[in-house]
Amino acid sequence: MNRAYGSNELEPLPELGHGGLRHLLNSIPGVVFQYEIGGDGRNRFAYVSPACSTVWGVTAEALYADATLAWRMIHPDDVDALRQRLQEHVAGEQTRWTNEYRIVKPDGEIRWVQSTVNKGSTANGGLMLHAVAVDQTDRHRTAELKITNDALGRAAKLKDEFLASMSHELRTPLTSILGLTEALAEGVYGELEAMQTRCLKTITGSARHLLELINDILDLSKVEAGMLELQTEPVPVTSLCEMAMLFVKPTAYKKRLRVNFSADPQAKFVRADPRRLKQILVNLLGNAVKFTPDSGSVGLEVTTDAAMGTIRFSVWDTGIGIAPDDQLKLFQPFVQVYAGLAKQYVGTGLGLSLVKKMTELHGGRVTVESQPGSGSRFVVELPWEPTATSHDEASPLVITPPPISAGHGVSVLLAEDSEPVIRLVTDYLRARGFGVTVARNGYLALEHAFEIRPDIILMDCRMPGINGIDAIKILREHPITANVPILAVTANAMAGDREQMLAAGATDYLSKPFTLRALSTKIAQLLLPKPTVILE
């Protein structure tokens, strides 16, 4: 139906072929409308197709009765610009234009609309706008989603770069702190008095606490970014549990806590990432010790359920307990349910969040049972196969050569730009008979390597000039250094760092901060003959 211009009477639209113009208009998914700007100053809809009920959420009858309803539906942030654009086009010579704007439907839903308008005239001297309004919300949402995803991608990249940078900046000085305290304790710089030894232990403890915080933040970031990959293998359950308990026993003994351990005899092996599973247990046991008053008890129980194919690691304590409302917040990162007791119970609120995420990466789940004043029990449940074994019984016996205790004139090229690390490593290695040449940038590292032909190269991967990874690639391509062992040393600890360095040609990898003992062991492993393999 079409309204006669300037009239409230309805008159039929002309027929178009056998289907009719009305059927054609009704089949268009967009809103077809004619909007008259009358010469008498009155504006009205001359025609609106039924699609207005779907696109605009109002009926044609409502628009016929009140043309201002259409303007009231336009989003407040778009209405002024749309009015100005309409005025410009009405006054100008352009007869066709397109607008995009938002409308707010009566139910509150916001939709994007694109109107294509053709300008014409009426018999009484007014203007007639012939238009089609099409819903473009899906296109806008797709575009907005792409923009959001691109922004999230950039933010994730920036976060990774920031974390890698912070990891490097924090781990490098920690290498010096932990390394120098270790060297002092071993007498590299002379004998120490008892008071000095106690001070070193305090420094070492504080530095290791900072390192744990850095590692927790990096691990959480890796998990959230989907970059933490598990290295699963058959893990001996009892040995791993006993190792985890060793980490907390010194603190437990200081608080006179009774430490208990029991394991189902069937729980011999579980397929897991041994490092991450130990991290889960140490975290839970550490919390149990932390929140249990002196002379209390903590324990670790391992049980199995062959029918369900699960193994459960239960860490319990007789500590202060957790209120039901607080249990809902336990596994959220950076949340401490005992924030008011922060001075008494130090922590970051990251530990339990990591426990949950790492357990889920193993295909398991973690639950908690607790009441204030009655202690807590955290249960980590993992998939388990009762028949799992550690390895094939016919596997070869590997005899690893012992680490060397002195350098015996071994030539070491140290490519490092951190002066504290340079002093630490050179003092330590030279005290053990190694010959050490220092290169403070990538160019010097290449120059010295080709000149002195070292027995081993310690290559920091963030070198000035030529970075360590590119330097390793060049060394591997040169016949003089193609077979020289290269130990990549880096303060970066993001996912893929190790693989990237090994792919470049590094023989092995050592992450800062490292212990001097670990450095000695790595050097020994790279310099001594390969392990002997005996087939039994």
The residues of the chain that CATH labels 3.30.565.10 are 233-391
What pLDDT score does 501 carry? 83
- Residue 190 — left, alpha, or beta (φ > 0 → left; ψ -120 to 50 → alpha)? left
* Structure-block tokens of residue 159: 């976060």
Which residue's entry shows tokens 């490593």? 425
* pLDDT tens-digit map of 495-526: 556 778 889 999 998 888 888 888 988 998 89
3-state helix, strand, coil in the chain (%, to 5): 40, 25, 35
CB 33 within 8 A of CB 49: yes
* Structure-block tokens of residue 243: 């190792």
The CATH number given to 2-135 is 3.30.450.20
- Residue 20 — left, alpha, or beta (φ > 0 → left; ψ -120 to 50 → alpha)? left
Task: Please tell me the distance from the alpha carbon of residue 413 to that of residue 421, in angstroms, as a whole number.
Answer: 14
What are the residues whose beta carbons fall under 8 Å from the beta carbon of 101, sequence distance 6 or more? 74, 75, 78, 79, 81, 82, 112, 113, 115
| Bridge partners of residue 34, in order along the sequence | 47, 130
CB 338 within 8 A of CB 345: yes
The residues of the chain that CATH labels 3.40.50.2300 are 398-534
Please, how many CA atoms are within 13 Å of residue 425, restricted to the half-sphere of its CB?
A: 30
* Structure-block tokens of residue 520: 């000695």
* Structure-block tokens of residue 483: 């077979």
Comparing CA positions, the residue from 455, 470, 479 lying closest to residue 527 is 455
C-alpha 126: how far from chain center: 62
What pLDDT score does 103 carry? 93
Q: At what angle do helices 516-527 and 137-185 cross, to 10 degrees?
A: 90
What are the pLDDT tens digits along the chain (536 aa)? 444 434 433 344 444 444 566 666 776 788 999 999 876 667 899 899 999 998 999 999 999 999 999 999 999 999 999 999 888 888 888 889 999 999 999 999 999 999 999 998 877 777 899 999 999 998 888 888 888 888 877 877 777 677 667 766 777 788 888 888 888 888 888 888 888 888 888 888 778 777 777 777 777 777 776 767 788 999 999 999 998 998 888 889 999 999 999 999 999 999 999 989 998 999 999 999 999 999 999 999 999 999 999 999 999 999 998 888 888 788 876 566 554 444 454 555 577 888 999 999 999 999 999 988 889 999 999 999 887 665 444 444 444 444 455 556 789 999 998 888 899 899 999 988 899 999 999 999 999 999 999 999 999 888 888 888 899 999 999 999 999 999 998 776 555 567 788 899 999 988 888 888 889 889 988 987 554 444 44
User: How far is the CA of 329 from the CAs of 154, 309, 375, in angstroms?
Assistant: 30, 29, 17
What pLDDT score does 390 carry? 55
Fold type of domain 398-534: Rossmann fold (3.40.50)
Neighbours of 405 (CB within 10 A): 10
Task: Please tell me the distance from the alpha carbon of residue 136 to that of residue 385, in angstroms, as a whole number.
Answer: 54
- Residue 257 — left, alpha, or beta (φ > 0 → left; ψ -120 to 50 → alpha)? beta
CB 459 within 8 A of CB 487: yes
Fold type of domain 233-391: Heat Shock Protein 90 (3.30.565)
Please, how many CA atoms are within 13 Å of residue 250, restricted to the half-sphere of its CB?
A: 3
The residues of the chain that CATH labels 3.30.450.20 are 2-135
Q: Where are the beta strands (DSSP E) in 143-296?
A: 233-236, 258-263, 269-272
| Bridge partners of residue 490, in order along the sequence | 511
- Residue 125 — left, alpha, or beta (φ > 0 → left; ψ -120 to 50 → alpha)? left
What pLDDT score does 2 carry? 43
CB 449 within 8 A of CB 457: yes
Looking at domain 144-224, which of 3.40.50, 1.25.40, 1.20.120, 1.10.287 is its CATH number?
A: 1.10.287
The residues of the chain that CATH labels 1.10.287 are 144-224
* pLDDT tens-digit map of 16-25: 444 566 666 7
Neighbours of 424 (CB within 10 A): 23
What pLDDT score does 113 carry? 93
The single-letter DSSP state of residue 112 is E
Neighbours of 303 (CB within 10 A): 16
